[in-house]
Chains A and B, each alone.
Chain A
């Protein structure tokens, strides 16, 4: 039973940190191969993962809850690399638990201020892609920067994704709407949408479509898409609120 549990533990790091289902499945298979175990049926979902194996003539199912899903692709990549190392026989059972702990403890490669600058930069660029003027660029830059700063503070308090998205979306959209009310830009939609773009769930949306179209994993794909649509809805409510109240 143990190799199956180890394989699930490593694959779950991929799922919990924003990796694709294909990547998690490949990692799971690699770890099993490293322990000379055959491929077993596995069900991938965003709330739990279940794998079924056979030991001493009896079948058993191992079930692991996925828990909150964040984004740390460094961890996801490290888990995938660990799977490959296990498959090549470079990591033994004694070292595997330590490796899993090490990967789970990996911090994001950037501090709060770099993330704030990245969000500001992303929003500024997106406002121009949407056809915004230079005023919209400035507004989006400031609004997204402030929003990301508050977001990182809220994330450090371990608050769930949806409330964080709502609070930061409201803050960014209200700052952007205030700038528009002051007449700093004539391209309102570009400034408003760009101000919250740093929280847009583009990755789950693309992963969801990849799951359905390429991997033929309908359930997990639909879960990812529904999750992304829900976060889009939260952001749209934030924009609509700012438009109604501030502008």
Chain B
């Protein structure tokens, strides 16, 4: 099942078998980005995503950056994500 959530910069969100960390958000030439970390048992990935971009990890799923909020204060910097888990061969989600 697809999950959508928002995350403050500096905070974490727990998904099945993974923790999503949002390190930082910013923008270059008006294009917002988010620096995201995904930690799974024995595996760490880090990616700078633009809005609409995905981070796909084998056997786990796809994390898409939906939106970035660039507030004046760091307490108002956040990103919105969509996570789609991989479905296994039997059609049961991982």
* B is a partner of A: no
